[in-house]
């Protein structure tokens, strides 16, 4: 394995950061000018297949070679002292090709997920028109017109101990408008607080406090079992005029995102939209039957997304297993 810094690197070079993010190698397939903030690792192709080197670097924990206490950094001498097993080059190529195939499949599945997210937005515009122009002539109201209630969540401190009721926080709502349950904490609520601070299936959660770019994240809660929700969130219970999926679709549209970004007030490094301001957001009000039809279509697409997410998880597990098999001692 050779080493290149600050000069023209040949094709099929593995680029590795020298400071900061030193654990994310990049494979560059064409010639390029390297910079002095990165190492260029050039394989001796008689002994080392370039893509095999890339996957080895992807698996190796370079941060364990770090000797600084501030920004992680990597030195040339430590880099070149790394030992790696070298099966015959034809075996290395087979391993790299297998990992390439799994990587390509994973990328395809992630594109499918992105396309399904875009499909939801396309269906919204097709059914309700452009919310900027209101080209379908819907009555214009405000979000409060569509709400039976709008409430703040609990300020009670949560714990990682699985005791009591799961609680949703601002990180559990994605920017795209879905729920992410990968990081859940818990609280204990009495019967009176359960009436105030539980979100039920079909109700909407709104992230009222976050960075200016993220304030206003919105998603519909779809699980059968209720969960608690934290004080940085608002819960909207829709009335007979509304389906939460429609309100979520509106707020997650490009127009909705612009409204929320413009409304958010910076307070001590965080941005905020309070319950009154949230309820005052102008919104077209199409017939409830059309909103329900939209919700049905969203649920169908979400079912497809769930299958794709399951496939992504399975493919990722396969990739991790292969990487461990080939590169872990």
Q: Under a CB-based contact definition with an 8 Å cutoff, are residues 144 and 297 in contact?
A: no
Question: Which residue positions in the chain have pLDDT lower than 70?
Answer: 1-7, 34-36, 69, 329
What DSSP string runs through 240-261? TT--HHHHHHHHTSHHHHHHHH
pLDDT for 1: 58
CATH number of 2-86: 3.90.220.20
Judge whether 2-86 and 139-285 match in fold.
Answer: yes
What DSSP string runs through 184-220? -EEE---HHHHHHHEE-TT-EEEE-EE-TTTTT-EEE
Pick the CATH number of 139-285 from 3.10.150.10, 1.20.210.10, 3.90.220.20, 3.30.300.90: 3.90.220.20
Taking only the tens place, the pLDDT of each residue in 106-135 is: 999 999 999 999 999 999 999 999 999 999
How far from the centroid of its chain's Cα atoms is residue 84's Cα?
Answer: 34
Cα gap 326→45, rounded to integer Å: 19
213-243 b/e with 16+ CB inside 10 Å = b?
ebbbbbbbbeeeebbbbbebbbbbbbeebbb
Q: pTM of the prediction? A: 0.83
The domain limits of the chain are 2-86, 87-116+289-329, 139-285
């Amino acid at each position: 394995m050779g080493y290149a810094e600050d000069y023209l690197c040949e094709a099929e070079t593995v680029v590795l950061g020298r400071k900061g993010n030193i654990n994310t190698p990049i494979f560059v397939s064409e010639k390029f000018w390297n910079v002095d903030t990165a190492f260029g690792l050039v394989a001796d192709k008689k002994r080392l297949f370039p893509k095999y080197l890339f996957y080895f670097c992807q698996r190796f924990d370079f941060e364990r070679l770090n000797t600084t206490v501030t920004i992680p950094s990597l030195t040339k001498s430590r880099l070149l002292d790394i030992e790696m097993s070298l099966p015959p080059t034809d075996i290395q190529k087979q391993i790299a090709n297998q990992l390439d195939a799994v990587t390509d499949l994973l990328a395809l599945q992630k594109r499918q997920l992105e396309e399904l997210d875009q499909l939801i937005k396309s269906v919204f515009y097709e059914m309700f028109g452009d919310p900027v122009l209101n080209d379908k002539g819907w009555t214009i109201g405000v979000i409060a017109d569509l709400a039976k209630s709008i409430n703040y969540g609990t300020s009670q401190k949560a714990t990682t101990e699985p005791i009591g009721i799961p609680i949703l926080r601002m990180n559990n709502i994605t920017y795209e408008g879905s729920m992410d349950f990968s990081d859940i904490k818990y609280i204990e609520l009495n019967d009176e607080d359960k009436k105030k601070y539980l979100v039920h299936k079909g109700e909407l959660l709104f992230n009222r406090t976050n960075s200016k770019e993220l304030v206003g994240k919105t998603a519909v809660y779809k699980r059968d079992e209720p969960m608690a929700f934290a004080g940085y969130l608002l819960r909207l219970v829709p009335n007979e005029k509304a389906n939460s999926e429609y309100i979520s679709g509106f707020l997650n549209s490009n127009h909705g995102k612009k409204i929320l970004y413009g409304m958010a007030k910076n307070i001590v490094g965080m941005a905020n939209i309070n319950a009154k301001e949230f309820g005052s957001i102008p919104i077209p009000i199409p017939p409830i039957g059309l909103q329900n039809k939209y919700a049905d279509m969203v649920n169908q697409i979400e079912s497809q997304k769930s299958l794709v997410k399951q496939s992504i998880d399975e493919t990722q597990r396969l990739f991790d297993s292969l990487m461990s098999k080939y590169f872990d001692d």
